[in-house]
Structure 1
Amino acid sequence: MASNTTIQWTEQTWNPTSGCDRISDGCTNCYALTMAKRLKGMGQAKYQNDGNPKTSGPGFGISVHPEAFLEPLRWKKPRRVFVNSMSDLFHSGIDTASLHLIFGVMAATPQHTYQILTKRHGRMRSLLNNPQFAHMVFHRAKMYGRPDTAARTWPLPNIHLGVSVENQKWANIRIKALAQTPAAVRFLSCEPLLGPVRLTRAHAHCPTHDFPGGFCSGPCPDLILPDWIIIGGESGPGARPFEPQWAADLIDDARLAGAAPFVKQLGSVWARANGASDSKGGKLEDWPAALRVREYPTTR
């Protein structure tokens, strides 16, 4: 079931699949895993499939929900939609045929903007660079009512693709994969941000220009930077520390790269240490003035 959300950078969540497995440091205190266990206890039908105890948990096994696929077709008002707040759309446990259908719904509803965030950068890159995948998406979109004469624009202009970046290690790996994936808008979710991340280190040396320590000022087709950077500390039990300087550095990098920075929250550890009025460190009035930044990308 789709729902309104308190996530500041979106308006609606849509979960055609649920469940996941931990694969990197950012997954340690996964809010969705904890929520799935609670929903299973409440008897929610979508959360009765248990995952691997080592990497997942109760109610958090990968599950595909065909009954939820059609929900966006019923939404008349355009909205920003976070796809799979309770899963990772590019998890290997989600079959490609289901992805054809899910992307087909997004292709058939161009009035909505879909935000897809993944840690499975490799599968994302492979699928979305595959002409056969795009062909099947438009075939499914026709099933959902998209006119066959409609322009077949790939990448789909209403889909924004993002990767999770919790530290420099994963910045170097996932941003490169994102840059190699066709997308109308690319974004980073640096939440929870667990250490300093600088964008200039996340890209290979420019083959055309020499720019040690900074951004290339010339036309560089091989250097693709993100359009949007979401920044946030960790919240909840077991939250790990967050340094405001990490956010300040990313804001500076975003400005240099022409990206829109969006600081979501400063996290529970920072909130406790600074007497913030919100336990997640999410109220802008509590923050240093330089971090009170919430911008959205310009749609191409």
Structure 2
Amino acid sequence: MSTQTSIEWTEMTWNPIVGCTKVSPGCKHCYAENMAHRLQAMGTPGYENGFKLSLRPEKLREPLLRKKPTIYFVNSMSDLFHEKVPDHYIDQVFDVIRDATQHTFQILTKRAERLADYFTKRTPPTNAWLGVSVEDKAYGVPRIDCLRKVNATIRFLSAEPLLEDLGEIDLTDIHWVIVGGESGNKARPMQQEWVDNIHRQCDEYGSAFFFKQWGGWGADGVKRSKKANGRLLNGQTWDEIPLLNLA
């Protein structure tokens, strides 16, 4: 079945695909890859191939079996728009999303060009929130323009792990921005100035701002556990969601 998750900005995960390949610096310490190998070692069904991309059609109907309205993060263990996922399979995923009108589905990708291309002749379901990862200026920021081409109900950015100051970014028609630092033993540090810069621009554009975590490095530049560093930014938590910010 779909899985409850500790990810702060969603409620459950749904993985009709597992496995992926690295495409940009944000992938370097991929949490999903490490988790997939652990699940493979434990003999967990669906992870026989570890992190090699695998379609799981037996998982497609899971959201239809849950009646309680739920926010799903789609493919937390993969990327729906990976080049090895056939269009017809992506179609099946979106067919389920259209039918499961009681739920909201959050889809995040680093393959922004394929996302935009896929929707040139298709209309996203109204209960699908579409997002791109924006970890840096070279790879992440260009994805924003691709996302903006898609007529989604909610367009969002995930600046996690945030690896550098993004500078001035165009948040026109971007409804939600999630920011977080990298966690794990090999976490790369995130500076508060980078986060504050994004927060300021969210205020200017009217985009909802969600601060997920400091990760492995605190605001003071000290390496600690993710839990010890917490989620406070300038003395408070920031858990804005886009529906509260749309007129």
Q: Tell me the TM-score normalized by structure 2.
A: 0.93
Counterpart CA distance in 1 for 2:223 and 2:114 is 42
Counterpart CA distance in 1 for 2:228 and 2:194 is 17
Q: How far does residue 68 in structure 1 lie from its aligned partner after superposition?
A: 0.2
Contact 1:242 1:266 in 2 (8 A): yes
Q: Which amino acid is 1:88 matched to?
A: D
Contact 1:235 1:280 in 2 (8 A): no
Q: Which amino acid is 2:74 matched to?
A: V
Choose the corresponding residue for 2:175, options 217, 221, 227: 227
Choose the corresponding residue for 2:93, options 82, 102, 105: 102
Contact 1:125 1:180 in 2 (8 A): yes
Q: How far does residue 198 in structure 1 lie from its aligned partner after superposition?
A: 3.3
Q: Is the partner of 1:234 in helix, strand or coil? A: coil
Name stretches of at least 5 consecutive residues in structure 2 with no aligned partner.
Answer: none
Q: Which amino acid is 1:292 matched to?
A: T
Contact 2:215 2:226 in 1 (8 A): no
1:20-66, CA deviations, whole angstroms, 9 ceiling, x for partnerless residues? 001100000000000011011011221112xxxxxxxxx00110001
Matched, 1:242 2:187: no
Q: How far does residue 273 in structure 1 lie from its aligned partner after superposition?
A: 4.4
Q: How far does residue 278 in structure 1 lie from its aligned partner after superposition?
A: 4.6
Q: Comparing both structures, which one devotes a greater share of its residues to helix?
A: 1
Contact 1:18 1:61 in 2 (8 A): yes
Counterpart CA distance in 1 for 2:117 and 2:132 is 14
The 5-angstrom pairing of residues 1-300 of structure 1 reads 1-49=1-49, 59-130=50-121, 134=122, 154-200=123-169, 203=170, 224-270=172-218, 273-274=221-222, 278-279=226-227, 281-284=229-232, 287-289=233-235, 292-298=237-243
Q: How far does residue 244 in structure 1 lie from its aligned partner after superposition?
A: 1.1
Q: Which amino acid is 1:228 matched to?
A: W
Contact 1:271 1:280 in 2 (8 A): no
RMSD: 1.9
Contact 1:244 1:266 in 2 (8 A): no
Counterpart CA distance in 1 for 2:114 and 2:107 is 13
Larger Rg: 1
1:56-100, CA deviations, whole angstroms, 9 ceiling, x for partnerless residues? xxx001100011000000110001100000000000111111111
Q: Is the partner of 2:138 in helix, strand or coil? A: helix
Counterpart CA distance in 2 for 1:159 and 1:260 is 17
Contact 1:265 1:280 in 2 (8 A): no
Q: How far does residue 276 in structure 1 lie from its aligned partner after superposition?
A: 6.6
Q: How far does residue 129 in structure 1 lie from its aligned partner after superposition?
A: 1.4
Counterpart CA distance in 2 for 1:277 and 1:172 is 29
Q: How far does residue 199 in structure 1 lie from its aligned partner after superposition?
A: 4.4
Q: Which amino acid is 1:41 matched to?
A: A
Name stretches of at least 5 consecutive residues in structure 1 with no aligned partner.
Answer: 50-58, 135-153, 204-222
Q: How far does residue 280 in structure 1 lie from its aligned partner after superposition?
A: 6.4
- Judged with a 3 Å threshold, the aligned counterparts in structure 2 of structure 1 residues 171 and 22 are, in CA distance, closer, same or farther, namely closer
Counterpart CA distance in 1 for 2:224 and 2:111 is 34
Contact 1:115 1:161 in 2 (8 A): yes
Q: How far does residue 115 in structure 1 lie from its aligned partner after superposition?
A: 0.1
Q: Which amino acid is 1:288 matched to?
A: N
